[in-house]
Amino acid sequence: MQIKAHENIIFCCLTIIFVCLEFCDICRRSQYICIVAKVNLNRIKSVLAEKNKSSKDLASHLGKTESTVSRWCTNEVQPSIETLYEISKFLEVDIRELLVATGK
């Protein structure tokens, strides 16, 4: 299979990078295939575990679906800054503890 580089690397929701090759269903181009690399930006799942809280508890507190919270916990999508603030209040942590550190 000959690999053809896509013109661009696409950043989707700041969490997923698509590098396109052949036969891609995502790009809707029949000659491409996509490899998905995930970047973890939040620590919501870890902090929930540290605080002995469930994603169901968080969903109920925020008035969100369990599916939405699950997508945050797996870093599939990211909550808004306002929602991160509400999560930090619920978990009684500094909002920065919910984010993956960028420095050393």
| Distances in whole angstroms, Cα of residue 96 to Cα of each of 20, 44, 65 | 33, 11, 24
Q: Which of helix, strand or coil describes residue 51?
A: coil
List, for residues 44-90, the tens digit of each pLDDT value: 999 999 999 999 999 999 999 999 999 999 999 999 999 999 999 99
pLDDT band at 103 (very low <50, low <70, confident <90, very high): confident
- Sketch out the chain's domains with CATH numbers: 1-39 (no CATH), 44-98 (1.10.260.40)
Pair 100, 43: CB distance under 8 Å: yes
